[in-house]
Structure 1
């Protein structure tokens, strides 16, 4: 069982420095730094932040590519008690405006064209990271004492996520919850000093952000590859000696397709870890065929608690439909609409308790009260009501059925978009799929990333699904549109359908 460790985010880095100071910590497209060098840069960032007047609880909004300087800044903010607010580099002015109004930052750090965007939206100082990084490097060797009042219950990050509302909402992520979740994940994933983690995801997404914490715990190397071209993906994995590759379904399908066409030796990958959306069995099979020594680890979670469940790597393939067991030191309960636990095997809302459950949404008390509720099942803390539906088996393994928004009735039958998408992904030639529930007069639809004709997709689905679950509309796309967090952009696809003749 994982010790319920409550530490600061930067403590994870300091532990790595104490044990492996000269090991490579981070590599980007420009250079690489050791754990000692990364810690020194984070100390220098702390000095720079203090000189600019940022104090405990101040928010620092950053919109930056995933590079070494951003990793150093993560830990530098932690040392000063400054709350880091990382925004996806792809976030546009429309959403940036609402984030600035909600977060009320003391400062913004960005680069390139975004400098003008932020300067036009806020009166707080907006700094160019290119200039700041030069200044910070000149401060290496300087240190400043940590503020005496810092607490592990202080907020480390505000992570903005998409949701059912038009404006993004920020999950409050304190040091204690973040460090516990990281250590609990590491207990199952087992990153080690010989591992090289090839990360394509922005640090604005918790999936990318936690990777720099997990690699510190494992004394591993992380390769920040978000700026690499898709065309050189396998070559870069090979050059860097990637052993662990975090994936989402679209990236997994791309890697499998590239590997099938690549005649050179493949990278020494030992583990693919998936999140964001269910990984289709066809994609898992393709990865296993291309990388026969690699384990494919399924995970399930939400930023509101980081991770809900994980299939232990050593159990890969044993429960192919399960998303795993709860993180060590945490609990999952499946509840009915009245808040009572349902019997084993029955579907209900997935709820979560444990030291990883975040305290709520930043300055959003109504949604916080709805999602983070006092535990009525005998516990003293908060119970996260995920809005996801699933069941557990007799051994405590979780099975995901779909989100509340993804469940609908058609022809009297309760249906989940997940099962339709899984059936579509099983069709040879379909690289990705997104089901869009009926809306008024518009019937159930499926978007498929494929060269197949729409009627062929429908025909193949009819072979795999009950009649009521077969979409009547199919739209074929060259590339499946995704949200900023790598999930199917279902709302945008629905708007496309409802704004044009079906």
Structure 2
């Protein structure tokens, strides 16, 4: 059956290989048949608890077999799933729950304090286990254009914004990526990245689409990652720059004696890899194909570099993925010449619906295709990435930077405004300016410059941020200035401050 809904990926594999292991986590496994049945059981239980078509079901669970069942259980209830990263602080969690109006929340007792009092009743513990074991056979009514998932990512003006993905978006992503990665049912793919990250979620959907096995793993230290690669005979590994630099950029990992002949492919996304790290990956895993990929949550995946080109062009993000076209345009909306920097736009498959509850932001990013005749541009929507890119004479693309002030750090997009708001909640801070500085490990690190009303140490300011924010929102560097220069209109002159402190 051609998949029409995301859960059809699971259904098809359960029909073809019911007894094959779909998921492994530590010493536990579920077959495809078991996962399919538990997802349907949960879907039925959610419906019995009032979830109806179009509702949003929140999921705040540790990486586990149950987390995957919760994703597909929500879909069997004709709802959309919304995954809350458990590193978020209470304020961010409550914002997400309220912003998208979560109907029910599947969670663990240990997270109830972080979540606090919300309109979404929690399901956890014995109640969740009972639902998973109570037979159910719900009949879905959704179509492929219905919402399957809302992924929350930092916006340019503060709290996270929800990006709306349909069933078709997620199916297209699974089909396209599994095709160019040549994924088969024989793979054992490491589920290293969180499922609230589109790149991490794709490891799950691609594995289920192909009937492969996904090994769930919570990353802690480089050597633990290398050990599970060997112990589980992993064939497919996806990671982000901070993980690669931890493995190959420091003294924590023992890679000299590493022998992983079964590792067939490696992928990187979520930020640009430094060339020395690319070269170390190639030297350590010469038998593995290395795919350097680029994408944004608003359109999932845009480009990849063919592994045969990695040694020749290690800084490139490649060319468009199948069924997608990317173009680099200038300020006039015209295609750029080779080596001319412009904004990348994405057309074709995987384009999300827009931003939840935010028509203004949606209109800024999802726009009519400027390359069509003016009278017909409205017929097609493309994604304006906000990324500055150029192409070489052979059409290979290279990332040059961001148009806006978003900071890409450790695989996360961070809003300077959100970090500034956290800083300004500390009594004694008068003003704050936050920006990103290139960093070999993180992609970009967060640097903050503050002025004070009363004397506070940089260490105290960092402790304040660590109390209120998840680790990826905490500045790595904090500078204290006597005062901030102002523009002619009396506003803080952010440009001159960033120029002054960028080189420090």
Place the TM-score, normalised by the shorter chain, in its bin.
0.7 to 0.9
161-170 or 267-276, which deviates more: 267-276
Task: Answer whether contact 2:233 2:260 (CA < 8 A) is retained.
Answer: no
Report what 2:232 is aligned to. Answer: 240
Indicate the residue corresponding to 1:175 in structure 2.
Answer: 167
The answer on whether the counterparts of 1:83 and 1:158 sit within 8 Å (CA) in structure 2 is yes
For 1:374 and 1:289, locate their aligned partners in 2 and report how far apart those are by CA, in whole Å: 44
Residue 350 (structure 1) shift: 0.5
Aligned to 2:334: 340
Looking at structure 1, the residues matched to 480 and 261 of structure 2 have their Cα atoms a distance apart, in angstroms, of 44
Structure 1 runs not aligned, ≥5 long = 409-416, 426-430, 442-476
Q: Shift of residue 440 of structure 1? A: 11
1:294-320 per-position Cα deviation (integer Å, ceiling 9, x unaligned)? 222100001101101112344443432
1:445-470 deviations in Å (ceiling 9; x for gaps): xxxxxxxxxxxxxxxxxxxxxxxxxx
Q: Check conservation: 2:354, 2:366, Cα contact below 8 A.
A: yes
Range that drifts further, 23-32 or 431-440:
431-440
Verify the 8 A CA contact 1:300 1:308 in the aligned structure 2: yes
1:497 aligns with 2:497: no
Rounded to whole Å, the distance in 1 between the matches of 2:479 and 2:443 is 15
Give unmatched runs, 5+ long, in structure 2: 408-434, 452-461, 483-500
Describe the SS at the equivalent of 1:333: strand
1:77-226 aligned at under 5 Å gives the runs 77-118=74-115, 120-128=116-124, 130-140=125-135, 142-147=136-141, 150-226=142-218
Alpha-carbon separation, structure 1, partners of 2:9 and 2:308:
26
Q: Does 1:319 align with 2:318?
A: no
* 1:260 and 1:290 in contact (8 A); partners too: no
> Could you give the per-residue CA deviations for residues 354-378 of structure 1, whole angstroms, max 9, x where no partner exists?
1311121000111111011122322
1:294-313 aligned at under 5 Å gives the runs 294-313=288-307
Closer, same or farther in 2 for the Cα pair 1:252/1:123, shift >3 Å?
A: same
**Residue 181 (structure 1) shift:** 1.9
Find 1:283's aligned residue among 264, 277, 280. 277
Q: How far apart, in 2, do the equivalents of 1:44 and 1:213 lie? A: 20
Deviates more, 1:188-197 or 1:165-174: 188-197
Q: Please list the CA deviations of residues 52-93 of structure 1 after superposition, one character each: whole Å capped at 9, or x if unmatched.
A: 110111011111111111112212222221010101110111
RMSD: 3.0
Native 8 Å contact 1:17 1:36 kept in 2? yes
**Corresponding residue pairs, total:** 434
What is the CA distance between 1:395 and its match in structure 2?
4.0
Could you tell me how far apart the structure 2 residues matched to 1:230 and 1:27 are?
A: 20
Shift of 1:218: 2.4
What is the deviation of 1:265? 4.1
Report if the CA contact (8 A) 2:3-2:9 is conserved: no
1:352 paired residue number:
346
